[in-house]
Amino acid sequence: MTVKDKVVIITGGAQGVGRYVARTFAEEGARIAVADIAPMDTIIKEVEERGAEILPIKTDVTDEASVRSMVETVYRRWGRIDVLINDAGIVTHFAVGGPRWPGIRDMPREFFQKVIDTNLVGTFLCTKHVIPYMESLQEGHIINFGQGSLTERPLSVESPGHPPNVGSCIYAVSKIAIRAFTRGVAEEEQRFNICIMSMGPGTDGSGGPLIGPGLTRAGIITDDSPAWAHEAGLSKRVETVGNRYVLAAEAGMELSGHQVVVTDGKVVIVKE
């Protein structure tokens, strides 16, 4: 399969990594639906400049009626849905230069719920509502922004100049939960030839390199990142994401249910 002329839904595609990913699909000739609550003028222009079709749809991924309407709108426009990229999410603080999220002991329940609703429940709702259309085609690809591992590194230890990794707990929980969700729904949809994977935008399968004792992983700097993030100099540019999500959308069923990463231009299963 190639993504040329395929219908691709990208949630959170108006800004950040999702915006970059939308451009990579546009360059391959896909038809792109961007679902976001943010203004979409910039991504519309960027996709059209690359000669691709785009359908912007204001969507709240935490609201089931909004998600259902978005999916139905895409189907009415193009008559099929081939790929879903579940990118929409609330991203944790950068490790350097920006305000930290509160630790669990100080975190309001409403904030905890907002992260879970956007990152995990949003992935669930969008997946739920595209599946019937993919089942009718007997094929499809769903790539979730899941990442992280309970075994990837030891607990950090506080030391002078290196504060403990406070504030990223709920983000990590949501992303690891997405990995578990991916595996479970992949088993359910295997008989319909729907390939469902999780993949982070970083190069190591878990979101990026560690940047020091007691510090969280470095984020990815995008065109929409604040000035302090660009000035910190510790994160990778969004261009390092490359075309990994295009490659994943062209991958075979043997990868379904797995956490994957792109190595030497090939999609491979992440080894724990």
Give the residue ranges of the chain where pLDDT is below 70. Answer: 92-99, 151-165, 203-219, 228, 232-235, 272
Token output for 152 = 């990837």
pTM for this model (two decimals): 0.89
In-domain check, residue 133: yes
Task: Let me know if residue 1 belongs to a domain.
Answer: no
Q: Give me the pLDDT at residue 214, please.
A: 35
Residue 36 DSSP SS3? strand
Question: 126-166, pLDDT tens digit by residue?
Answer: 999 999 999 999 999 999 999 877 765 555 555 455 555 67
Compute the distance between CA of residue 31 and CA of residue 34 in angstroms, rounded to an integer: 10
- The structural domain count of the chain equals 1
**51 part of a folded domain:** yes
Helix or strand run (H / E) with residue 196: strand 194-198
CATH no. for residue 85?
3.40.50.720
DSSP state of 193: T
* Full residue range of the structural domain in which residue 120 is found: 7-269
Tell me what pLDDT residue 97 has: 53
Give pLDDT, residue 167. Answer: 79
Q: How many CB atoms lie within 10 A of CB 220?
A: 24
